């Protein structure tokens, strides 16, 4: 997973890269850690390294924080799962996933009825569920991150999914 550190600015990697690699050395690949690393990179790009370093130096250290990186990457709990997801958060995630999936499915069905049996439209058939999952991450995996980080992460992942499904549809249309 250390290849994800390439998402961070070069100056940040020079200062904190070895420390993060050390933190990651004892961890196995997980979806949560991947999201933490990507969201952390977005956060670092949005807030220059100097600001983070100044804030870390000015903040009084907490007993459970051994390094500034633990706070940045949300690795401050023993299992590296970030902020606790409450029952209310789980309900919000579930409702947002269901509503997003429902709205996008209705849109997809309307498009399918209007355009007929089109390979690109058909390729988007699974997209509502996947985007619903991505949107629900706001209350689970991305909980505790800034609104800007959440928007960039969710919007970026949604754009990537749309592009992948569109390309799959176009390739299906072109192939005999």
Share of the chain above pLDDT 70, in %: 78
Tokens 């399918």 -> residue = 112
Q: Which long-range contacts (CB under 8 A, 24 or more apart) does 130-133 make?
A: 130/161, 131/100, 131/101, 131/104, 131/158, 131/161, 132/96, 132/97, 132/98, 132/99, 132/100, 132/101, 132/104, 133/97
Note whether 4 and 38 are within 8 A (CB): yes
Note whether 166 and 123 are within 8 A (CB): yes
pLDDT in tens, 36-70: 888 888 888 887 655 455 445 544 544 444 454 55
Query: Which residues are within 8 A (CB) of 50 and not within 5 positions of it... i.e. 6 or more apart?
Result: none
| pLDDT given for residue 73 in this prediction | 53
Report how far residue 135's alpha carbon sits from residue 157's, in angstroms, rounded to the nearest whole number.
10
* Residue 61 CA from chain centroid, whole number: 28
Sign of the dihedral defined by the CA atoms of residues 122, 124, 130, 136, in that order: negative
Report, as an integer, the average pLDDT of 113-124: 89
pLDDT in tens, 66-114: 454 555 555 444 343 445 788 899 999 999 999 999 999 999 999 999 9
Report how far residue 122's alpha carbon sits from residue 116's, in angstroms, rounded to the nearest whole number.
9
């Amino acid at each position: 997973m250390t290849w994800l550190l390439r998402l961070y600015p070069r100056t940040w990697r020079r200062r904190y890269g070895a420390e993060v690699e050390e933190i990651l050395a004892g961890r196995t690949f997980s979806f949560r850690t991947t999201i933490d690393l990507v969201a952390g990179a977005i956060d670092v790009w949005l807030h220059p390294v100097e600001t983070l370093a100044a804030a870390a130096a000015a903040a009084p250290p907490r007993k459970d924080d051994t390094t500034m990186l633990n706070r940045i990457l949300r690795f401050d709990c023993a299992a590296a799962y970030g902020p606790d997801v409450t029952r209310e958060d789980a309900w919000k995630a579930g409702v947002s996933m269901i509503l997003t999936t429902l709205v996008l499915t209705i849109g997809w069905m309307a498009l399918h009825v209007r355009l007929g049996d089109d390979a690109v439209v058909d390729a988007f058939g699974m997209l509502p569920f996947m985007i619903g999952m991505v949107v629900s991450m706001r209350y689970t995996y991305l909980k505790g991150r800034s609104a800007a980080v959440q928007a960039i992460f969710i919007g970026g992942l949604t754009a990537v999914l749309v592009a992948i499904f569109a390309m799959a549809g176009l390739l299906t249309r072109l192939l005999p």
